[in-house]
């Protein structure tokens, strides 16, 4: 199987061109390819598929083989892959995703390489949309999540996929992996959830670490970064436009009237072929 590896803010993906046909990648195969010691190693597998409503369709599988609804970093990487493969002819494309159509455009060159903006859709913080247990029309702002004998306060946001945002004072010392693992699979989240841990430095500057559903702690998360800015704004901790610094680098988020826009880099890493 021929593949390409791309990264966006150190979120790395195995890219497969399925526009001319071919069997879709199964969950076990995706998990095997993403294994970092015995496989290629990646946070997920992304397939470029034909679409009847957009320029291309994105299918993304997490490192554990589960399918995700959306991935902002993955969309930037997929657009660059499409440009490199001749699947895109312009500086703008629309992609069909399970969360709805998403527009991606080239915006120039900056830190980390070529910069791409993704229209990430309209956020929701209603329990039924995320989803979070409780009344469907109730807001999921400052909810309490019981973890054994302790309680974590969080604000939850849907960016087409579920996010649980926890604000902390000491990001470096916070037990992201243990708490992230517990919250991801908590009974309050019927479809599990991504978890973001955030320190607000200023109205337009934040730092974050991400525990991704089906992956674990990652270097960055596009939808998660958008959820961070939305949650901070809802709580009055920040404005609607901010730079979020993650281990994989900074990402820019602007929450417009009915649209969140994510801007950041993407880069081609290498091409290869699997054997055996």
Q: Per-residue pLDDT tens for 70-102? A: 999 999 999 999 999 999 888 999 999 999 999
Domain 2-120+264-273 of CATH type 3.10.310.10: yes
Whole-number pLDDT of residue 265: 96
143-258, superfamily in CATH?
Diaminopimelate Epimerase; Chain A, domain 1 (3.10.310.10)
Whole-number pLDDT of residue 1: 83
pLDDT tens string 130-167: 999 999 999 999 999 999 999 999 999 999 999 999 99
Instruction: Select which of 34, 71, 156, 164 is catalytic.
Output: 71
Based on the residue annotation, tell me whether 156 is a catalytic residue of this protein.
no
Whole-number pLDDT of residue 150: 95
* Distance (Å, whole) CA 99 – CA 230: 18
Tokens of 69: 């609804």
- 122 alpha-carbon distance from chain centroid: 15
Whole-number pLDDT of residue 109: 86
Instruction: Select which of 34, 156, 221, 226 is catalytic.
Output: 221
Q: What share of the chain is helix, strand, coil (3-state, %, to 5)?
A: 15, 45, 40
Based on the residue annotation, tell me whether 71 is a catalytic residue of this protein.
yes
- Residue carrying the six token digits 């000491």: 170
Task: Report the pLDDT averaged over residues 104-121.
Answer: 91
Model confidence, pTM: 0.95
State in Å, rounded, how far the first CA of the chain is from the last one. 10
Q: Within a 10 A sphere around the Cβ of 173, how many other Cβ atoms? A: 8
Contact present, 142 and 173 (Cβ < 8 Å)? no
* Residue-range domain boundaries for the chain: 2-120+264-273, 143-258
What is the β-pairing status of strands 216-218 and 56-62?
Answer: unpaired
């Amino acid at each position: 199987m021929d593949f390409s590896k791309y990264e966006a803010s150190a979120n790395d993906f195995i890219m497969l061109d399925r526009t001319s046909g071919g069997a879709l990648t199964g969950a076990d195969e995706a998990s095997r390819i993403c294994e970092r010691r015995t496989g290629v190693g990646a946070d997920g597998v992304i397939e470029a598929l034909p679409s009847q409503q957009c320029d291309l369709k994105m299918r993304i599988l997490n490192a554990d083989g589960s399918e995700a609804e959306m991935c902002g970093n993955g969309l930037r990487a997929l657009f660059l892959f499409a440009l490199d493969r001749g699947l895109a002819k312009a500086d703008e494309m629309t992609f069909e995703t399970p969360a709805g159509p998403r527009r991606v455009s080239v915006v120039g060159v900056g830190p980390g390489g070529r910069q791409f903006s993704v229209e990430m859709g309209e956020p929701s913080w209603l329990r039924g949309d995320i989803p979070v247990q409780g009344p469907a029309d109730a807001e999921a702002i400052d909810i309490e999540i019981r973890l054994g004998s302790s309680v974590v306060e969080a604000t939850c946001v849907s960016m087409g996929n579920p996010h649980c945002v926890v604000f902390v004072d000491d990001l470096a010392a916070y037990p992201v992996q243990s708490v992230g693992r517990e919250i991801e699979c908590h009974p309050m989240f019927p479809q599990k959830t991504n978890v973001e841990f955030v320190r607000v430095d200023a109205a337009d500057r934040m730092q974050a670490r991400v525990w991704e559903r089906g992956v674990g702690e990652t270097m960055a998360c596009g939808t998660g970064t958008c959820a961070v800015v939305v949650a901070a704004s809802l709580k009055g901790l920040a404005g609607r436009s901010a730079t979020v610094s993650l281990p994989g680098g900074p990402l820019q988020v602007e929450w417009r009237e009915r649209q969140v826009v994510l801007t950041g880099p993407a880069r081609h890493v290498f091409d290869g072929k699997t054997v055996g």
